[in-house]
DNA sequence: AAAAAAACATGATATTAATCATATAAAGGA
DNA sequence: TCCTTTATATGATTAATATCATGTTTTTTT
């Protein structure tokens, strides 16, 4: 059977997360960064990341300024947004929440076999993404506990 | 931003899982079931599920017989295959294993921020799917602990 | 005020996954 | 043996996602 590249997150939200992390670590209001540079640093095609950055800015996940000396950056309030919010802006709401088998009437009270198996783990995953802020992850990065691969 | 229907499993493997479960519960060597009927019972388009069933049979996740009185069924040895094997036949190997951010050099020793967050949960998920057999789930279904939504 | 530098908006193209269709081969029954 | 019935193999079409491209607006600098 043919090879699939299935995944939990869309490419778009992966890229968005990388960009958001990068901006949280390396920018602030008076130290902005242009699309071109962001693109190079995080290793995502310029035209592609540009579109995502614009959407993220519109939804206040990051900040932006037009014109010369303009660019994107991460403000303190931006950094309080959660990881899940980043994902939702790009992938849309029900992404993570949808059931594994995607059956309408599958839930805690009426679980399909897979649901009862991995449902609890998935809930935990969602809770984590819901509670962790961009700032939380940036802290981990700053402490070199983790790395931002490019 | 436009609406995505992102997911952990491809539609194909969801359908395959439903079919496999159904066959495990309702068929045996001398009680086969034809594509047409399977399609109706599990509520998946005939031409679509047919292709998947053929692949599953080729890979011995289920069994099949041609000609009149033929059809698909689940043998005892079929039922010993794991859930992960079903997924792998359809979605290909690295499906589940691939990192969330999909970075080449992200691993336990060199984790990206997301990895350290949900990596452990994902590992558990994979372990579960690796250890649970079709038969295990069929048991749960037989005991009415869970349901097979259609 | 004009020019340049940036993000913003919008749309086009390409690739991948999902779905459908049809001709071929094997098995059983008349 | 020949016809019918079923799975099998293979390919075509459609829809979704990922990627790229380009004109418009806003802001700064001269
Ligand atoms: S369809 Fe929800 S995991 Fe069961
Ligand atoms: S890229 Fe693996 S989760 Fe980090």
In three-state form (DSSP H/G/I as H, E/B as E, the rest C), the secondary structure along B9-29 is CCHHHHHHHHHHHHHHHHCEC
Query: What are the Cα distances from residue A2, in Å, to A94, A149, B12, B88, B90?
Result: 28, 29, 11, 11, 8
| Class of domain A2-142 as given by CATH | mainly alpha
Which of A33-47, A48-62, A85-99 bottoms out in mean pLDDT, i.e. has the lowest?
A85-99
- Ligand nearest the Cα atom of residue B21: 1
**What's the mean pLDDT in A71-81?**
97
Query: In the numeric block, which tokens belong to residue B82?
Result: 């794991």
The candidate with the shortest Cα–Cα distance to A100, out of A111, A85, A87, A86, is A111
Q: A35: pLDDT confidence band, cut at 50, 70 and 90?
A: very high
Q: Is A25 in the pocket of ligand 1 (CB under 6 A)?
A: no
Mean pLDDT of chain B: 84
**What's the mean pLDDT in A41-69?**
95
pLDDT at B3: 46
pLDDT at A51: 95
Cβ contact B6 with chain D strand, < 7 A: yes
**What's the mean pLDDT in A76-105?**
76
Q: Is A83 in the pocket of ligand 1 (CB under 6 A)?
A: no
pLDDT at A147: 78
CA A88, A92, A93, A95 torsion: positive or negative?
negative
- Ligand nearest the Cα atom of residue B110: 2
Name residues of chain B where pLDDT drops below 50: 1-5
Which residues in chain A are closer than 8 Å to B140, comparing Cβ atoms? 113, 116
pLDDT at B74: 97
Q: For B147, what's the count of Cα atoms within 13 Å in the CB-facing half-sphere?
A: 11
Which residues in chain B are closer than 8 Å to A5, comparing Cβ atoms? 95, 98
Q: Which nucleotides of D are covered by protein (CB under 7 A)?
A: 4-11, 16-22, 25-29
- Domain locations in chain A as residue ranges: 2-142
What is the Cα–Cα distance from A52 to A81, expressed in whole angstroms? Answer: 16
User: For residue range A116-138, what is the model confidence (pLDDT) as tens digits?
Assistant: 777 788 788 888 889 999 999 99
Eight-state DSSP code of residue A81: S
Q: Which atom of ligand 2 is nearest to the CA of B101?
A: 1
Task: Decide if pLDDT at A29 tops 60.
Answer: yes
Q: A60: pLDDT confidence band, cut at 50, 70 and 90?
A: very high
């Amino acid at each position: 059977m043919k090879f699939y590249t299935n995944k939990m997150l869309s490419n778009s939200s992966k890229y968005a997360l990388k960009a958001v992390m990068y901006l949280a670590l390396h920018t602030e209001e008076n130290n902005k960064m242009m699309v071109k540079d962001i693109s190079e640093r995080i290793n995502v095609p310029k035209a592609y990341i540009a579109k995502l950055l614009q959407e993220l800015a519109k939804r206040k996940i990051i900040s932006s300024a037009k014109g010369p000396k303009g660019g994107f950056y991460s403000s303190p309030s931006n950094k309080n947004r959660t990881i899940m919010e980043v994902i939702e802006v790009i992938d849309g709401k029900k992404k993570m929440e949808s059931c594994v088998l995607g059956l309408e009437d599958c839930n805690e009270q009426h679980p399909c076999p897979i649901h009862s198996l991995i449902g609890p783990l998935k809930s935990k995953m969602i809770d984590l993404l819901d509670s962790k802020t961009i700032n939380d992850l940036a802290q981990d990065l700053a402490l070199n506990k983790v790395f931002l691969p490019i």
